[in-house]
Structure 1
Amino acid sequence: MGQETAYDAVLLVAFGGPEGPDQVGPFLERVTAGRGVPPGRLAEVAARYERFGGVSPINGRMRSLAAAVTDELAARRHDLPVFWGNRNAPPLLADVVASIRDAGIERALAWVASPYSAYSTCRQYGEDLDAACRSVGAGAPSIDRVRPHHDHPGLIGPTADRLAEALAEFPEERRVGAHLLFSAHSLPTALASTCGYVDQLRDAARLVAERVDPDGGHPWEVVWQSRSGSPHVPWLEPDVGDRIESLAAEGVRAVAVSPLGMPVENFEIAWDLDLEAAQRAESAGVSFVRARAIDDDARFASMVVDLFEERLDPTVERKSLGGLGLRPDSCPADCCPAPARS
């Protein structure tokens, strides 16, 4: 074995979401802090959450994932605690890092609930962790992060299987020639040009499509969702709903959508795909199915532990299926820079 790096705990890090109507306002205030979002826009988004009882599914899914990772660590004889903290909703990272310190833990390894390289999906979480450690002060643990891992088998395999399950929901006459749409959170194009986000998503989509459809009978593409911000700022396109309507105009009769960019079930999947995209497909006469997120697949928790073990021991294989090469453990200084604030 190579020289090992010791860690005392695993920390799962996510965006977070409200778990009741009283949490929606504080959650949205954290998400939009410093961005000058008009109160009317905040009220509009709050009303969306109210339609779902003020609850996002992400926190419940992260609790289940933490339990699954704990079990997988134990199965591999790692006697380590698993913590979970959020950027924007309880349990907040600062509180969780304080708990880690109070438990006497000196070094933790963090996994972030997005495998892709972009400011908001990667570097910003590092900044969040640094800020949480500063807020804790003396005795704060040292926290490293696992590498971006868009092409790990524990991501690609479950995503392919869930998409194949979704395709099987169509009657045969609709399934033949159905289009595969891989959806991810849109970004401003200027920001996307500074990172590997788009290339990684396309690489992951290709890997999944090849497994679901090795004969190439289903056209596929990456589409975008959850656009926000000024309408005058260009964002990645096409929007998933817009693309469904344009495909309908081309004669396409069925689309299967995979939430590739969001492996953990969350509110944006529920609103943008299950509600808005599905409604636009119905209006356009297009049959619509959405593949399930993969966070509750046993291979996903196994992936998290794989990423822990490769960091623990440099002789452990770093699993990767794609053609873009492995990302480094620590992001270079010029990687995924923060967006300019006007």
Structure 2
Amino acid sequence: MAQILYQNIETGDAHDITTLVKSASWKTKRAGSPAQLSLTLVADPAVEITEGGIVTLTEDGTGLFYGYVFKHSRTESEEVSVTAYDQMRYLKSKDTYVFTGQTADQITTQICADFGIKVGALEPTGYVIPSMVEDGQTLFDIILGALDLTLVNTGKMYYLWDDFGSLRISDVAASAIGLTIGDGSLATGYTYQSDIDSDTANKVKLVRDNKETGKRDVWIVMDSSTQKRWGVLQHYEKVAEERSSAQVEAMADSLLELKNRPKKSLSINGLSDLSIRAGRSILVSIADVGISGWYIVDECTHDLIKETMTLKVVIV
């Protein structure tokens, strides 16, 4: 049974507001957004909602969401709406950073220390990024950019998430849930889509400024077979001057391998299981479209009252 608690940080008063809740949804995204808990409550004079108030969601003693009130409103019908985000909301702040010879987890540790964000277990990501210069970017973009560079150069995928008040980096492959969703298991409906419109490339062009020659060095890799079928879909990127030719060549090959395929997405409606959240992988089996395998949860929304969920997944 899910339980929702609220604490007014100005007075210190704490309340179990589970019985006041008329509607509740918990939403997580794999990249670029904080977890969100949206509530509609019956107004209670004893429960004063204020900005920065702490809201938690637990199930059978397991912490699922620890966040802070960012928006609240009240109507003439004595209903109170509350929107709370976990601490990843603070990663929307912008700043300028220059990193040299650091891993993604080290970059995350430094940023979190600078902004007072609580950190939990950060998986060592291993890959040492030669250089990152980020001018006026969101903290989200900087950290996710470091994780993307790690993926391109190692093939290992990590996700950033808040574990009940502690920011974490986890290995997607090691975060699989022993749960099957699909035919005869939780799913009540689905939409399957395959496209080459959003993030597909069969030609990769990387350029690097060369101070010695005053020109730009260019690397191009492509797949002529998919170009015949799809036309030329180019990914263009400028890389840091500090990268060696071997590093740029490897990066180009990795990008082509990652992007030279259709992007397949699957949306699933089903019965709620609160162990499922964005970033984790689950086993999906839907015979009608020939799907059977591990998928990464890209987005997940749980309706805590109706006990249903909507998932968007990508292929591992």
- After TM superposition, the score normalised by the length of structure 1 is 0.22
Larger Rg: 2
TM score, norm. by length of structure 2 = 0.24
The structure whose residues are more often helix, as a share, is 1
In terms of fraction of residues, the more strand-rich structure is 2
Bigger relative contact order, structure 1 or 2 (CA pairs below 8 A, ≥6 apart): 1
